[in-house]
């Protein structure tokens, strides 16, 4: 992927970082909403 210098350009690094942040935010939100709204926790990622 973009890690380890396969695509050693700044844009790829930004994409990877943003993706990880979004996934972490989605996982945290899902963990919070699972107890109240399980359907929302299973929604597709933005």
Burial of 15 (0-12, 13-18, 19+ CB in 10 A): middle
pLDDT tens digits, one per residue of 1-46 = 445 556 667 787 888 888 989 988 888 887 777 665 555 556 666 6
CA 1 centroid distance within chain = 15
pTM for the full predicted model = 0.45
d(CA 11, CA 30): 28
Tokens standing for residue 40: 């929302």
């Amino acid at each position: 992927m973009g890690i380890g210098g396969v695509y050693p350009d700044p844009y790829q690094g930004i994409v990877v970082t943003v993706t990880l942040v979004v996934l972490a935010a989605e996982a945290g939100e899902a963990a919070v909403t699972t107890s109240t709204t399980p359907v929302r926790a299973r929604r597709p990622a933005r």
